[in-house]
């Protein structure tokens, strides 16, 4: 009969083996069929199916009822967001976001580079309504959002080239037009988009830098375009850039 040590070793190994399926889904750009997912995790489909059945019951994995393909589930998203929420940048932002939201007259979100794109990890609702799709865990488009454009401006191109290629397939020519704006975004310290993702709504986003001068996050003001002045002299751009600068300073970061 195996002793406790052997049982513990097998249990740990089982977790590690099953985690390969979650890692494969995290690395994938879309939903995967069982055969491809099992191959990516280096296990037989029959074995992968057993793990996936348990993960689905836990909410870590979900299966499309039409295509039968697999993706990460709501529990996996909650775990990821919770892990990010325990980082310093969110704690710092919370100390200043009320004043900034009042000064800008907008809602404010914080996004980090995760899940193959700018992922919203914090949202503070202001007086103005926010589109329903702007939710925690949502991965924003790169080309059509101010947040995405901040990441384009401050991340090395190899980090986002594949992602943007997929967006460019939907709207050919957009990348070249956006690429021309990137030097200006770096120079002025923020990006602005209007009626790109949602008609009538704007985004004003500014970068947060870490102690090495690398992009750590982006803070974004969200609101209705008709209600606020989005010029450099209006209330939104100065407030959101000041917030990003404050968070950067408390992280020990400096703008490169």
| Domain segments of the chain as ranges | 4-72, 79-250
What average pLDDT does the structure give for the chain?
86
- The answer to whether residues 247 and 207 touch, using CB atoms and an 8 Å cutoff, is no
Q: Model-level pTM?
A: 0.67
Query: What's the CATH architecture for 79-250?
Result: 2-Layer Sandwich (3.30)
| Helical H segments across the chain, by residue range | 4-27, 34-40, 45-58, 74-85, 88-104, 146-154, 157-170, 174-179, 182-188, 236-250
CA-based angle 8:12:14, to the nearest 5? 115
Higher pLDDT, 137 or 88: 137
- 16-20, 111-115, 188-192: which is most confident: 188-192
Instruction: Quote the pLDDT of residue 36.
Output: 95
At the topology level, CATH places domain 4-72 in Arc Repressor Mutant, subunit A (1.10.10)
Residue 12 has pLDDT above 60, yes or no: yes
Instruction: Quote the pLDDT of residue 1.
Output: 46
Closest CA to 191 of 230, 224, 249: 230
Residue 197 has pLDDT above 70, yes or no: no
Integer Cα distance of 85 and 112 in angstroms: 11
Integer Cα distance of 144 and 209 in angstroms: 22
């Amino acid at each position: 009969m195996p002793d406790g040590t052997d049982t513990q070793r097998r249990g740990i190994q089982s977790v590690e083996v099953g985690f390969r399926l979650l890692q494969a889904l995290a690395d994938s750009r879309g939903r995967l069929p069982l055969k491809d997912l099992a191959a990516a995790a280096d296990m037989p489909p029959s074995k992968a199916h057993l793990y996936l059945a348990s993960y689905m019951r836990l909410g870590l994995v979900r299966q499309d009822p039409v295509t039968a393909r697999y993706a990460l589930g709501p529990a996996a998203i909650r775990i990821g967001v919770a892990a990010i929420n325990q980082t310093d940048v969110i704690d710092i932002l919370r100390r200043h976001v009320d004043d900034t939201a009042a000064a800008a007259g907008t809602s404010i979100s914080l996004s980090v580079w995760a899940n193959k794109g700018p992922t919203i990890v914090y949202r503070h609702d202001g007086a103005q309504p926010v589109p329903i799709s702007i939710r925690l865990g949502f991965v924003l488009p790169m080309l059509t959002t101010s947040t995405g454009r901040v990441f384009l401006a401050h991340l090395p191109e190899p980090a986002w080239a594949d992602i943007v290629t997929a967006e460019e397939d939907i709207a050919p020519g957009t990348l070249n037009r956006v690429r021309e704006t990137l030097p200006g975004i770096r120079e002025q310290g923020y990006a602005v988009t209007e009626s790109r993702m949602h008609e009538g709504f704007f985004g004003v986003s500014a970068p947060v830098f870490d102690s090495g001068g690398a992009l750590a996050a982006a803070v974004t003001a969200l609101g209705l375009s008709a209600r606020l002045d989005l010029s450099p002299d209006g209330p939104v751009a100065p407030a959101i850039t000041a917030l990003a600068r404050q968070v950067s300073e408390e992280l020990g970061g400096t703008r490169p």
